[in-house]
Amino acid sequence: MPKPFKKIRISTKSELLYGALLLLLALIARSAALSLPASFLRDAASMLSVVMLIGGVIVVVVGLWHAANRAASPGSMPASSIAGWFPDPKDSTQLRFWDGREWTGETARREIAEIRPS
């Protein structure tokens, strides 16, 4: 089954930044809502600020959760963003090619291909 969102990659820093931005916008919308003259505009702006506040909290929590998961599995990706052959995180007898962003399908036996990036 195809995964439509497989190519979308957002870093933890981006998630935390977007969450903080939503929280800041929620505070701005709330303060603007208090100064509006009509009650229906005040109510709409207040509702918008609540929605942005909830969205900001969710995005920050997801960013922290992703950061915790990445820290918990240090062998899942090499520390380097340089392409090269590295020990396969799922099979210690194999090497797998890291293209600088993700693991590829290319593997080699570890005894033969003890090649590191130059």
The edge-to-edge listing of strands for the beta sheet with 103-109 is 84-87, 94-98, 103-109
Report the alpha-carbon angle 33-34-36, nearest 5.
Answer: 65
Q: Is 1 a domain residue?
A: no
Task: List per-residue pLDDT tens for the chain, 118 residues long.
Answer: 445 444 445 666 777 788 888 888 888 888 877 777 778 777 887 888 888 888 888 888 887 777 776 655 545 555 566 888 888 878 878 888 888 888 888 888 887 545 555 4
Same domain, 64 and 101: no
pTM of the predicted structure, to 2 decimals: 0.46
**50: in domain:** yes
CB neighbours of residue 54 within 10 Å: 12
Range of the domain at 22: 12-72
Same domain, 44 and 94: no
